[in-house]
Amino acid sequence: MPRHTAIVTGGTRGIGRGIAEVLAAENYTVIAGYGGNDQAAAEFTKETGIPTRKWDVADFQACQNAVASIEADFGPVTVLINNAGITRDATIKKLSYENWMAVIQTNLTSVFNMTKAVWDGMVAENFGRIVNISSINGQAGQYGQVNYCAAKAGVIGMTKALALEGARYNITANTVAPGYVATDMVAAVPERVLEKIVSTVPVGRLGDPAEIARAVYFLVRDDSNFVTGSTISINGGQHMY
């Protein structure tokens, strides 16, 4: 299999870290992007040997610059995993415009920003793999997450349009919609709320990042060209869609 250069945004922690590790183990050249936590990024590189780059995925120009610099160092980016995301949970009554915008920009506009930055290169290579990480909450809704659910549902629609546009260039675009996975993001949910949520998961536990990462690897493989525009839900049976 030819060696591909893969960007995983939000790749130093949580689900992104799991994806970065699985792709690196499968012989991809992986660059993990991150937004703020320098210490976690340094530990990640120390433990995995995977290089990191810091930029804000919500910033269009920063994405252009990051991809240009990664391509200069590692060659054309043929695999893009749009994983970076944040939560700013609050009911609509308390949700501020700033926290609406922060989640839309970081979780949805980022997918546009990063895809724009790699698209022409993928077309030139006549090959590309884009996997966008959505969420069960974009499919089912979640109390206190009007912003997050809107962004994550938006990702699913965007992926389908990209699949249509990419097909003629051997660029596939797919969505993975994880349920509740053991990450820092989920750990921030108040304990009593999380207990209630886990009690509704038939498998009876949180997911492991590696369980999401293995599906991402399946989607990016060279021989997965017929899999495009799909949404793979991985949620322990919590929501069957």
124-143 residues in contact with ligand CAA (CB under 6 A) are 135-137, 142-143
User: Cβ closer to ligand CAA: 29 or 134?
Assistant: 134
CA separation for the pair 114, 129 (Å, rounded): 13
Nearer to ligand CAA, 221 or 239 (CB): 239
Q: CA–CA distance from 234 to each of 50, 98, 123, 237 (Å)?
A: 26, 30, 30, 8
**185: contact with ligand CAA by CB under 6 A:** yes
Distance CA 238, CA 202 (A): 6
Residue 19 CB burial class (10 angstroms; 0-12, 13-18, ≥19):
buried
Active site residue 97: no
- Contact pick of 132, 145, 147, 172 for ligand CAA (by CB under 6 A): 145
Cα separation of 4 and 222, whole Å? 10
**CA end-to-end distance (rounded Å), the chain:** 33
Distance, CA of 180 to CA of 174 (rounded, Å) = 20
Residue 148 is a binding residue for ligand CAA (CB under 6 A): yes
The stretch among 49-57, 70-78, 159-167, 187-195 that binds ligand CAA (CB under 6 A) is 187-195
Decide if residue 17 touches ligand CAA (CB under 6 A): no
Binding-site string for ligand CAA from residue 63 to residue 92, where x marks contact by CB under 6 A and - marks none: ------------------------x-xxx-
Reported as type and span, the H/E element at residue 54 is strand 52-54
Which residues belong to the active site?
Answer: 148
Q: State the residues that interact with ligand CAA by CB under 6 A.
A: 87, 89-91, 135-137, 142-145, 148, 180, 185-186, 189-190, 193, 197
